Amino acid sequence: MNYNYIAIEGNIGAGKTSLATRISQQFNAQLILEQFDDNPFLPGFYRDPDKYSFPLELSFLAERYQQLKEQLAQSDLFKTFVISEVNGFGF
């Protein structure tokens, strides 16, 4: 089977980035990693998950859309497919 896009989803610290990086290297795939360092809702989520889980997920969704839109517009013609990792908090 041929896939154009594969997403590795899981909780923080599960090894998504390591797995996606290895797959991208082994199969010559374009790697897109989630950018969560600047997320303004993340500190609030750790203080009060019930209050901040939904806004955090929405911000991750909006950020992921923007990131994919920008990165896929500049797709690498020499890469066979795109692989990314996505944090899933399980809400």
pLDDT tens figures, 43-71:
998 999 999 989 988 888 888 888 888 87
What is the pLDDT averaged over residues 28-40? 84
Residue type, 8: I
Supply the pLDDT for residue 48: 94
User: Residue 35: which pLDDT band, with cuts at 50, 70 and 90?
Assistant: confident
User: Residue 89: which pLDDT band, with cuts at 50, 70 and 90?
Assistant: low
Tokens 């790697």 correspond to 31
Angstrom distance (rounded) from CA 12 to CA 4 = 25
Higher pLDDT, residue 26 or 70: 26
pTM of the model: 0.71
Angstrom distance (rounded) from CA 5 to CA 38 = 25
Contacts of 67 (CB under 8 A, 6+ apart): 32, 34, 35
Angstrom distance (rounded) from CA 50 to CA 76 = 40
Contacts of 51 (CB under 8 A, 6+ apart): 44
Domain residues of the chain, as ranges?
Answer: 5-86
